[in-house]
């Protein structure tokens, strides 16, 4: 260990941008054994590991890096998976520059961070190849069942943790595939769908029941599932797009980021997608404008490139230093030919029924606003016109109106519409109904959804244990009464 002085930092190599532009495959080459071992040995094994503190799952990073450097990969896998149910997914898509790697001590001392994410991915990819990841073996199934609404990372992880404890688990999802945003939001070039499907297949083979094409609130009522289960977890994510206040009524070629990405992912998975085939959600030969500067915007611009757009521009009202997303993703987009218009805001969509041009204004950064960043203000007289065939708005997401959707008016929500839960028990104001993931936090990250899934499973277990104990005590009392 401590080889950071002699061994330079090296991330996995990327395929050339020429190849990437024509392919939805992941853009990184897989790590090979020697490189993974060498990179892991750069860790300085610090007494207070800041990477561990800044990982939302508090992964024992220095310990599994040491095991990987010593080629003890099975032990490294056991340790890394003891705190993380989806390490191969986090290794691929966590914004490591803002979490573990961004806080690595050798990064701070100028040597370049240990490439933690790619080593975490390597360890778990090897575990799959070698067959170390087995189905869950339940010794005695409990006579209690949990209904989970939503099969995104929060729901899947809670299901796995509850299954390990022996509960019967049924997961309901409105889509035809499980995985939530892992399957239909995040593009294949960041996270190959097979990686997600391996996890859902294992969970199914471990006895979790998936009810797909089942939207709670329309296909099945909330009451129905409430009657079927001893506890309910709501893990429905946030899906309502935030909108820009422009004249887009009746304009056919303004679409939301998620509609665009879901169509592209479904098409990739060979579903029939009529709005893609009709051209509405397809960038082929178009001048595409994406509005926004987060990771969703980066996914849209890079998808548009791969769909064969004529040109792809990204408009963001702040500068590159102030983007909400990961700089790594901006770099990838730049390499793939995306034209970034920093400090630029669309102010008018021009066209009749269909946008033909977008009027934009240049912005300058003023004083710091409530988001902690400098507030963008328009520069007068800076208007420009950009030829436009398709506008994709990627401005973030809000929760849908769950009390209305579930016909459950008593369900309490916060001002922003996320579900209100008790901080400790993660239970909503309705007894036995829990919530986790983006529907509680607002749009967040996969790693936080995993943390919530693990925590809520513990809380549901405690709730059901108590319930089990009350039932047992009641039946004992009844026996005594009869005696
Ligand atoms: C385009 C995009 C890219 C992203 N990229 C990254 C990234 O690179 N790294 C990262 O860490 N995070 C990323 N995120 C964020 C991350 O995907 C989310 O934070 C995470 O998926 C939230 O997990 P969840 O389980 O709470 O919800 P979701 O993953 O949203 O899952 C919710 C599930 O609930 C289902 N559902 C909703 N309502 C109902 C209902 N009424 N009945 C039945 N089922 C229902 C949905 O169909 C869905 O399957 C990205 C998000 C987006 C939109
Ligand atoms: S889960 Fe994410 S933040 Fe934690 S070690 Fe892995 S890549 Fe880093």
The ligand 2 atom nearest the CA atom of 101: 8
- For residue 89, the CA-to-ligand 1 centroid distance in Å is 14
CA atoms within 13 A on the CB side of 361: 10
- Looking at residue 103, its pLDDT comes to 95
Fold (CATH) for 145-239+399-473:
FAD/NAD(P)-binding domain (3.50.50)
DSSP 174: S
Pairing assessment for the beta strands 433-435 and 231-234 based on DSSP bridges: parallel
Class of 3-130 per CATH? Answer: mainly alpha
Ligand nearest to the Cα of 200, by number: 1
Compute the mean pLDDT over every residue in the chain, rounded to the nearest whole number: 94
Let me know if the fold of 145-239+399-473 is the same as that of 242-397: yes
Between CA 20 and CA 305 the distance in angstroms is: 9
Task: For the chain, give every domain's residue range.
Answer: 3-130, 145-239+399-473, 242-397
In testing the pocket of ligand 2, which one of 100, 107, 115, 445 has its CB within 8 Å of the most ligand atoms? 100
Q: Which residue has the higher pLDDT, 142 or 373?
A: 142
Whether ligand 1 lies within 6 angstroms of the CB of 186 is answered as: yes
Which of the ligands is closest to the CA of residue 85?
2
Q: How many whole angstroms separate alpha carbon 261 and alpha carbon 296?
A: 9
Query: What is the pLDDT averaged over residues 248-266?
Result: 88
d(CA 13, CA 27): 9
Per-residue pLDDT of 116-148, as tens digits, reads 999 999 999 999 999 999 999 998 999 999 999
pLDDT at 371: 75
Count the neighbouring beta carbons within 10 Å of the beta carbon of residue 128: 15
Q: What is the CATH number of domain 242-397?
A: 3.50.50.60
At residue 472, does pLDDT exceed 70? no
Q: Which residue has the tokens 């499907």?
A: 197
What is the CA(342)–ligand 2 centre distance, in A? 29
| Ligand sitting nearest the alpha carbon of 61 | 2
Q: How far apart are CA 81 and CA 60, in angstroms?
A: 10
The ligand placed nearest to the CA atom of residue 219 is 1
Q: Whose CA is nearest to atom 4 of ligand 2?
A: 55
For ligand 2, residues with CB inside 6 Å are 55, 57, 59, 61, 84, 90-91, 94, 96, 99-100, 116-117, 120, 447
At 478 the pLDDT is 59
Q: Please check whether residue 26 is in contact with residue 92, taking contact to mean a CB–CB distance below 8 angstroms.
A: yes
Which ranges in 231-289 belong to alpha helices (H)? 257-268, 274-277
Q: Is 255 helix (H, G, I), strand (E, B) or coil?
A: strand
280 phi/psi in degrees, rounded to 5: -60, -40
Residue 237, pLDDT > 70, answer yes
Shortest-distance ligand to the CA of residue 88 = 2
Res. 249: pLDDT tops 80: no
Q: How far apart are CA 241 and CA 236, in angstroms?
A: 15
The answer, yes or no, to whether any atom of ligand 1 lies below 6 A from the CB of 346, is no
Query: What pLDDT, on the 0 to 100 scale, is given for residue 325?
Result: 81
Q: How far is the CA of 26 from the centre of ligand 2 (A)?
A: 19
Q: Both ends of the chain: CA-CA distance in Å? A: 69
User: The whole model's pTM is what?
Assistant: 0.95
- Band the pLDDT of 368: cuts 50, 70, 90: confident
Ligand 1 pocket test, pick from 87, 150, 199, 257 with the greatest ligand atom count within 8 Å of Cβ, gives 150
- Average pLDDT estimate for 72-87: 98
Q: Is any atom of ligand 1 closer than 6 Å to the C-beta of 217?
A: yes
Residues 26, 188 contacting (CB under 8 angstroms):
yes
**Token pair of 324 as six digits:** 């909400």
Q: Is the pLDDT of residue 469 over 70?
A: no
In terms of residues, how long is the chain?
483
Q: If you measure from the C-alpha of residue 273 to the centroid of ligand 1, how many angstroms do you get, rounded to a whole number?
A: 20
Q: Is the CB of 330 under 6 A from ligand 1?
A: no
pLDDT in tens, 204-231: 999 999 999 999 999 999 999 999 999 9
The answer to whether 417 and 455 are in contact (CB under 8 A) is no
Q: Which atom of ligand 1 is nearest to the CA of 181?
A: 29
Q: What is the mean pLDDT of residues 238-251?
A: 80
User: Is the distance from CB of 98 to CB of 110 less than 8 angstroms?
Assistant: no
CA-to-CA distance for 96 and 301, rounded, in angstroms? 21
87 lines ligand 1 (CB under 6 A): no
Mutate to test the pocket of ligand 2, among 31, 54, 57 (most ligand atoms within 8 A of CB): 57
Task: Tell me the best of 57, 149, 181, 392 to mutate to test the pocket of ligand 1, counting ligand atoms within 8 Å of each CB and taking the most.
Answer: 181
**Nearest ligand atom owner, CA of 399:** 1
Residue 483 scores a pLDDT above 60: no
Residue pLDDT, tens place only, 83-126: 999 999 999 999 999 999 999 999 988 999 999 999 999 999 99
pLDDT of residue 69: 97
**Mutate-to-test residue for ligand 1 from 236, 266, 403, highest number of ligand atoms within 8 A of CB:** 236
**pLDDT for position 481:** 59
Cα–Cα distance, 471 to 474 (Å, whole number):
5
- Distance between CA 136 and CA 119 in Å, rounded? 25
Q: What is the pLDDT of residue 474?
A: 61
Burial 413-451 (b: 16+ CB within 10 A, else e): beeebbbebeeeebbbebebbbbbbbbbbebbbbbbbbb
61 Cα–ligand 2 center, Å: 8
pLDDT single digits (tens) 384-434: 999 999 999 999 999 999 999 999 999 999 999 999 999 999 999 999 999
Residue nearest to ligand 1 atom 7, measured at CA = 93
């Amino acid at each position: 260990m401590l080889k950071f002085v002699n061994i330079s930092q090296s991330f996995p190599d990327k395929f050339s941008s020429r190849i990437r532009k024509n392919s939805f495959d992941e853009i990184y080459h897989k790590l090979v054994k020697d490189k993974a071992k060498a990179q892991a040995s750069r860790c300085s094994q610090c007494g207070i590991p800041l990477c561990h503190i800044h990982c939302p799952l508090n992964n024992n990073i220095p310990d599994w890096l040491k095991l990987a450097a010593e080629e003890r990969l099975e032990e490294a896998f056991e340790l890394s998976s003891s705190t993380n149910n989806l390490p191969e997914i986090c290794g691929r898509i966590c914004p490591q520059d803002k979490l573990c790697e961004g806080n690595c001590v050798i990064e701070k001392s100028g040597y370049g961070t240990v490439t933690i994410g790619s080593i975490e991915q390597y360890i778990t990819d090897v575990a799959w190849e070698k067959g170390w990841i087995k189905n869950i073996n339940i010794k005695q199934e409990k006579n209690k069942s949990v209904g989970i609404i939503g099969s995104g990372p929060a729901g899947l992880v809670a299901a796995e943790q509850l299954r390990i404890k022996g509960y019967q688990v049924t997961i309901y999802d409105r889509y035809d595939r499980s995985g939530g945003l892992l399957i239909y939001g995040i593009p294949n070039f960041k996270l190959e769908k097979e990686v997600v499907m391996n996890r859902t297949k294992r969970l199914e083979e471990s006895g979790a029941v998936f009810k797909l094409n089942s939207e709670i609130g329309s296909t099945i009522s909330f009451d129905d599932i409430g009657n079927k289960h001893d506890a309910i977890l709501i893990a429905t994510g946030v899906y309502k797009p935030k909108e820009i206040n422009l004249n887009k009524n009746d304009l056919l070629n303004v679409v939301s980021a998620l509609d665009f990405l879901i169509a592209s992912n479904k098409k990739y998975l060979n579903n029939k997608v009529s709005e893609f085939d009709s051209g509405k959600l397809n960038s082929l030969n178009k001048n595409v404008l994406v509005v926004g500067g987060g990771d969703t915007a980066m996914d849209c611009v890079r998808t548009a490139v791969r769909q064969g757009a004529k040109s792809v521009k990204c408009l963001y009202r702040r500068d590159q230093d102030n983007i909400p997303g990961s700089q790594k993703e901006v770099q990838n987009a730049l390499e793939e030919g995306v034209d970034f218009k920093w400090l630029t805001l669309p102010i008018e969509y021009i066209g009749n029924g269909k946008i033909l041009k977008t009027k934009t204004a240049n912005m300058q950064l003023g004083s710091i606003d409530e988001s902690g960043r400098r507030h963008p203000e328009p520069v007068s007289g800076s208007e420009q016109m950009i030829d436009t065939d398709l506008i994709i708005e990627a401005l973030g997401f809000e929760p849908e109106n769950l009390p209305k959707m579930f016909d459950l008016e008593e369900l309490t929500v916060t001002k922003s519409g996320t579900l209100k839960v008790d901080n400790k028990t993660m239970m909503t104001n309705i007894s036995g109904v829990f919530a986790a993931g983006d529907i509680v936090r607002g749009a967040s990250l996969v790693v936080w959804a995993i943390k919530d899934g693990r925590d809520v499973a513990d809380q549901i277990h405690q709730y059901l244990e108590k319930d089990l104990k009350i039932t047992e005590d009641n039946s004992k009392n009844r026996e005594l009464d009869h005696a």
